[in-house]
Amino acid sequence: MAEVNNLIIGLLAASGILSLFVFVTGGTLGILSAIPLLIAIIAAPLSFLLYKWGYWLVPYVTRGQRVIQSDDAIVEIPHTEDVVVKKVGDYYYASMYVVVKIFKSVTNMTDEEKFGFMELWERTVSALKPVTKYAVLVYLKDLYKYKESIEARKAKAQMEIAKENEKPNPDKQRLDLLMREISMWDGILSRLDVGDKPTAILTYIQTTAKGMTKDAAMAAARQNVNEIRTAIGTALNVEIAPLSGEDMKRCFDWEYTLPRGTKGL
Amino acid sequence: MVELTERNAALAAIGLCLFATAITFMNLSSLGGIFGVILIIIGVLGMAATYVLFTMGYAVMPFMTSTLGVSDLLGNGYKIPPSQDVVIRNVGGIYHATMYMSARFYEAATSEVEEEMTVAYMDLWERALAGIKFPFKFCLISFPEDIAKYRENLETQRYAATIKLGKEREKPNPDALTIDKWEREIARLNAMLARLTAGEKPMGAVMYVATTGIGVNEAAAIAAAQRQVGEIRSTVANALNLDIKVVKGEDLKRCFTWEFYIPPDRAEFVSSL
């Protein structure tokens, strides 16, 4: 990359110097002046072409390389697993992800509440100084784990029915409740059997901070999280908590948002 | 020291090309007519090409990489094929293909539309999200706008609208519809300025949607992702009146890197766009 940057600066300098040379000599070299001018006219746009696509054009032209290697997706996750660190140039960028738990659906709000919520949301977001990303992630649950958990709950309800029936005076209301629960689990299982995919929704906020060292960037990111927590959490009455481990990875690693392995497919 | 940003590099290239072309023009007689004219044509084409690359590079790059068959390995198993419209990753023999789309809202929820519309919009938003049964992500990146510039821009717009309204009124047969249009525009700009005066801060936003398809090979995963993109476009775009377009090339790479980090300062973020 540094080599390409030097090349860009060299081309710009060559373009300027050659033009200046012809300007100073005033075209006294006659037709020979056309050569430095031609180089200057070609070098300037070429420098921008290299600035923009030099990272793949230079290896392609010099070595015929058709596969370009870069490190855009290489990040470091410290042992705390609540932050993602990436070094870009001389700076470290630390990103943190916080989950936003909204307990009230808009369908349960009155019209005034909805409008008020929206207005508060816009005002709160516009008051935040750092660049912030808000995301709604609809992800697939692991079908087998999900099915297993539903079946386990169904079995538990069936066992409770059996226990209740064994009693000398079974509680009819409780039995009815348990029967309803079983039919609910059956409904979910039958939907899964016909191919419905179990999905979940995760609303999260991503904030990034920059620092000269890794620790400085991480500390600044934590400070941003506190600011977001205070501003958004208080204004919208929602619960905000930092994400870590697998939940955090789900925000940027597609491996965690999709069922893994051939079974899932 | 001036930082070598994309904008600065483009300006430097165009400026130097213009300088060289101007000198050619000045020395046209000594260069010999035909050579000078050819150089001027090359110079003008060079400037135009630089401008096109700067403003529309996102559209040119996929064409070039597809033609030359260049693919990009991003590390950690992520790969961008020559078509530059999808990110592919192989996870244990299963291919994940992620496509990104830009989403454009035409109105803020609270500034210009009626309360009923905002309320209906929220209902539609929740229903649209719940209706999609495959993994996707809707992202909104917000950044604070420069208040001084924003205010100046609004005031300029209001001034222009006031002049146009005045001109329409001075006509012998003024058009009532045009007058109404400019009056509404002025009222809207006045309301926005009043909000700024009340202490509200202007905010810029960038929105994009990502979805991932899975398959046993690259082609199957890409096909699944493309099908999902079509579904999102028809479901979300129609329900919310959004303009959704698939992003390619540099924009795709930008969306991908935003998953890991976003430039934290406004200036850095805006210059990266």
Residues B91 and B138 in one domain: yes
Q: Residue B39: name the closest of A13, A16, A35, A18 by CA.
A: A35
Q: Is residue B191 part of a domain?
A: no
Least confident of A73-82, A121-130, B166-175: A121-130
Domain boundary among B70, B86, B103: B70
Rounded CA separation A43/A9 (Å)? 10
Q: Give yes or no: residues B110 and B226 share one domain.
A: yes
Q: Which amino acid is at A210?
A: K
For B69, name the nearest residue in chain A, comparing CA atoms only: A66
Residues B101 and B226 in one domain: yes
User: For residue A52, what are its two tokens?
Assistant: 């923009």
Measure B50 CA to nearest chain A CA, in Å.
6
Q: Would you tell me how many other CB atoms lie within 10 Å of the CB of residue B163?
A: 11
Yes or no, beta carbons of B118 and A114 under 8 Å apart: yes
Chain B residues touching residue A93 (CB < 8 angstroms): 260-261, 264
Q: Are B240 and B128 in contact (CB under 8 A)?
A: yes
Q: Are residues B47 and B88 in the same domain?
A: no
For the CA atoms of A56, A60, A66, A72, the dihedral, rounded to the nearest 10 degrees, stands at -20
User: Can you tell me the distance from the alpha carbon of A154 to that of A216, in angstroms, rounded to the nearest whole number?
Assistant: 50
The distance in angstroms from the start CA to the end CA of chain B is 22
How many separate domains does chain B show? 2
> Which residue of B1, B137, B242, B253 to mutate against A (max A Cβ within 10 Å)?
B137
A214 touches chain B (CB under 8 A): no
Among B4, B13, B143, the residue with its CB nearest the CB of A45 is B13
Q: Verify that B37 and B60 share a domain, yes or no.
A: yes
What mean pLDDT comes out for the span B82-92?
Answer: 86
Q: What is the pLDDT of residues A96-154, one digit of tens each?
A: 999 888 776 666 677 777 777 777 777 777 777 788 888 888 877 777 778 888 889 88
Asked if B269 contacts B5 with a C-beta cutoff of 8 angstroms, the reply is no
Which residues span the domain enclosing B32?
6-70
The verdict on residue B158 lying in a domain is no
Assess whether B110 and B213 both reside in one domain.
yes
pLDDT in tens, A80-94: 888 889 888 788 899
Looking at the structure, do residues B14 and B137 belong to the same domain, yes or no?
no
Tell me, yes or no, whether B262 lies in a domain: yes
Q: Please identify which residue in the block is written with the tokens 């490190």.
A: A71
Nearest by CB to residue B135, choosing from A33, A207, A258, is A258
pLDDT in tens, B15-25: 888 888 888 88
CA dihedral A234, A239, A243, A249 (to 10 degrees): -110
Q: Yes or no: say if B36 and B27 are a contact pair by the CB < 8 Å rule.
A: yes
Residues B233 and B215 in one domain: yes
Residue that finishes a domain, picked among B16, B44, B70: B70
Q: Of B70, B90, B110, which one is at a domain's C-terminal end?
A: B70
Interface touch A72/B6, C-beta < 8 Å = no
Say if B179 falls within a structural domain: no
What is the Cα–Cα distance from A59 to A67, expressed in whole angstroms? 9
Quick check: A261 pLDDT over 60?
A: no
Q: For position B115, what pLDDT does the model report? A: 63
> What residues are paired with B246 via a beta bridge?
B101
Same domain, B21 and B92: no
Same domain, yes or no: B94 and B17: no
Same domain, B214 and B136: yes
Q: pLDDT higher for B89 or A257?
A: B89
Cα distance between residue B22 and residue A187, in whole Å: 78
The answer as to whether B115 is a domain residue is yes
CA distance A140 to B71: 29
Q: Give the position of tokens 């001036």.
A: B2
Helix A111-127 with B115-130: angle, nearest 10 deg:
80
Specify the higher pLDDT residue, B32 or B78.
B78
**Neighbour tally for A239: CB within 10 Å:** 11
Take residue A141 and report the two structure tokens written for it: 């649950």
Question: Which tens digits make up the pLDDT trace of B66-76?
Answer: 888 888 788 77
pTM equals 0.74
pLDDT digits (tens, 9 = 90+) for B257-268: 888 888 887 777
- Residue B127 within a domain: yes
* E strands, A56-198, in order: 67-69, 84-88, 91-101, 132-140
Q: Is residue B266, in this structure, part of any structural domain at all?
A: yes
The string of pLDDT tens digits covering residues A198-231 is 777 888 888 998 888 888 989 999 888 888 888 8
Label residue B223 by pLDDT band (50, 70, 90). very high
For Cα atoms B224, B124, A251, give the angle at the middle one, nearest 5 degrees: 50
Q: Can you read off the two tokens belonging to residue B127?
A: 């229903």
Domain co-membership, B248 together with B140: yes
Q: Is the residue at B31 inside a domain?
A: yes
pLDDT at B170 over 70: yes
Which pair of structure tokens corresponds to residue A169?
Answer: 């005076």
**CA–CA separation, B192 and B226 (whole Å):** 40
Average pLDDT, chain A: 81
Give tens-digit pLDDT for A243-260.
888 888 888 887 777 765
Q: Which H helix or E strand runs over B229?
A: helix B218-232
- If DSSP codes are grouped into helix, strand and coil, which group holds residue B200? coil
Q: What pLDDT score was predicted for residue A265?
A: 45
